[in-house]
Amino acid sequence: MAAADQPFALRAGGVRMLGVGGDGGGDMDSDRSISVAPAPRTTGRPAMATADREALAVLLSVHGMGPLTLARLVDGLGSPATILRVAERPDAVPELVGASVEPDGASRAMSKIVAEAIVEAAARRDAILADVARSKLRVVALGDPDYPSRLVAIEVPPPGLFVRGTLEPLAVEHVVAVVGTRKPSPAGRRIASRIATALGRAGATVVSGLAIGIDGAAHAASVSDGAPTVAFIGGGHAALFPRAHDRLADAVVDGGGAVISEYAPRTAPTKGTFPQRNRLISGASDAVVVIEAGARSGALVTASWALEQGRECFLVPGSIDSPVSAGCNGFLRDWPGLARIVSGVPQLLDDLGLMGAAGLVGIAAATDPGQPVPIQSAVKLPTASAVLAGRDEAQHRVAHALLRGATTVDELVAVTTLSVVGVLGALTRLEASGLVRANRGRYEALGALAAVPAPPATKPAA
């Protein structure tokens, strides 16, 4: 294929962008086509042919074929659509294996098992594309105009992404990942909500992994405050994990964000797919913020990817006796000068260069550099009064008690002096509004309520 016929034949972090030639899909049987919507055009770059885009969706469903092998097949056969046409031939397997080796012999041929899986996927083409359409996804190929530019720069960018929603939030000037443990403390959840809200109000897009815990708190706070957020998931859209976040995923998309996977819709998440997903969370961002992480937390994998990819890395420190802070504390110790401490939300915004976006002056811009002015507040976080406006007295009392640390029904009854029925009724109304959630017999603030700064501790009466 002539070079002029390959508008996307460019090296990106060691992976060749998928070439689409003028003959990329001309021989495909149009009567069988189940269209995969192309990405919106944002530049003058040629769009990938529909047949190639559909073929890419099918090829990405093949278990065991990584981006490097796919790139070599495209180089050898010309386009994704041609690969599927070859897979339909009687002698497809040896031809596919041979095409997976670079002409200079520098690469190793893919296994016969993978080649047979390509043949099987080609036979299931219609069913695979139907899954994509049923999940309301579009396939964005490496080289498409709206493929996230930050991801292009990582070492092995995905050849294609299955996207539900819009990728526009990843094209803004500031994108920050907020991640952490799946079992956070109430304080950790509140910190995640405050940081995510502050970032959104400063104009940054919050990226996370849609997991329960810190990830979910960050997404929920962004959605609640009307800021777009983006989630990268560790499996296919039709196998979303955790299922408890189905509604949150819908809210992310409805709020102008996106849920993204590099895996085909029915790909089940595994222990191996989540670390791969983590490289996309960090790679799509300018910086990663870790809020509570145990010694073996997956959030630390994201932090490691961030350092490897040249992204900034910030960690919230915690008590040396707290298991959920052991990973953050250890990472700060092990990577001095690279991993940075989060000493406060305003200070984090200043370190990220977002104080100007928030309309405020940072420490570095103080009138007297020798005597920097401590930042007391950066962006106006929601107040309890604003979040609870229009709600009845019982909801106000229960919400304020939650913010002060009460978590069980018994504690809430004692603090609010409401009856058990009154407390449960208020909790039900707050939970229905997305401001409170139950967690193993305890209750905690969620969304905008979780982003409210904790009230100062009251001094005991003399």
* CATH number, domain with residue 259: 3.40.50.450
Number of separate domains in the chain: 3
> Is 27 within the bounds of a domain?
yes
Instruction: Please indicate, yes or no, whether residues 15 and 118 belong to a single structural domain of this protein.
Output: yes
- The percent of residues in the chain predicted with pLDDT above 90, rounded, is 56
Hey, what are 282's tokens?
């960090």
Instruction: Please indicate, yes or no, whether residues 194 and 296 belong to a single structural domain of this protein.
Output: yes
Edge-to-edge strand list for the sheet holding 175-180: 138-141, 160-165, 258-261, 229-232, 205-208, 175-180, 287-291, 312-316, 339-341
Residues with Cβ < 8 Å from 340, sequence gap 6 or more? 312, 313, 314, 315, 351
> Is 196 within the bounds of a domain?
yes
Q: Which residue has the tokens 């299922």?
A: 243
Instruction: Please indicate, yes or no, whether residues 196 and 137 belong to a single structural domain of this protein.
Output: no
Instruction: Please indicate, yes or no, whether residues 20 and 149 belong to a single structural domain of this protein.
Output: yes
> Is 372 within the bounds of a domain?
no
Residue 45 — very low, low, confident or very high, per pLDDT cuts 50/70/90? low
Instruction: Please indicate, yes or no, whether residues 356 and 394 belong to a single structural domain of this protein.
Output: no
Instruction: Please indicate, yes or no, whether residues 151 and 189 belong to a single structural domain of this protein.
Output: no
Instruction: Please indicate, yes or no, whether residues 245 and 152 belong to a single structural domain of this protein.
Output: no
Mean pLDDT across 87-92: 90
More confident residue, 386 or 291: 291
Instruction: Please indicate, yes or no, whether residues 280 and 194 belong to a single structural domain of this protein.
Output: yes
Q: Is 211 left (phi over 0), alpha (psi -120 to 50) or beta?
A: beta
Mean pLDDT across 341-358: 86
pTM of the model: 0.78
The predicted pLDDT at position 285 comes to 97
Residue 104 — very low, low, confident or very high, per pLDDT cuts 50/70/90? low
> Is 459 within the bounds of a domain?
no
Look at residues 127, 144, 159 and tell me which one is the last residue of a structural domain: 159
**Which H, E and C letters describe 244-270, residue by residue?**
HHHHHHHHHHHCCCEEEECCCCCCCCC
Instruction: Please indicate, yes or no, whether residues 425 and 322 belong to a single structural domain of this protein.
Output: no
> Is 300 within the bounds of a domain?
yes
More confident residue, 282 or 367: 282
Look at residues 365, 392, 413 and tell me which one is the last residue of a structural domain: 365
The predicted pLDDT at position 335 comes to 94
pLDDT at 5 over 60: no
Mean residue pLDDT across the chain: 83
Mean pLDDT across 226-255: 92
pLDDT at 272 over 90: no
Instruction: Please indicate, yes or no, whether residues 172 and 155 belong to a single structural domain of this protein.
Output: no
* CATH number, domain with residue 398: 1.10.10.10
> Is 107 within the bounds of a domain?
yes
> Is 455 within the bounds of a domain?
no
Look at residues 159, 189, 206 and tell me which one is the last residue of a structural domain: 159
> Is 390 within the bounds of a domain?
yes
pLDDT at 358 over 70: no
Instruction: Please indicate, yes or no, whether residues 26 and 108 belong to a single structural domain of this protein.
Output: yes
Instruction: Please indicate, yes or no, whether residues 192 and 337 belong to a single structural domain of this protein.
Output: yes
Domain that holds residue 430: 384-450
Nearest partner of 196 among 247, 242, 164, 231, judged by Cα: 231
Q: Is 192 left (phi over 0), alpha (psi -120 to 50) or beta?
A: alpha
pLDDT at 207 over 50: yes
Give the model confidence (pLDDT) of 372-392 as tens digits: 444 444 466 778 888 888 899
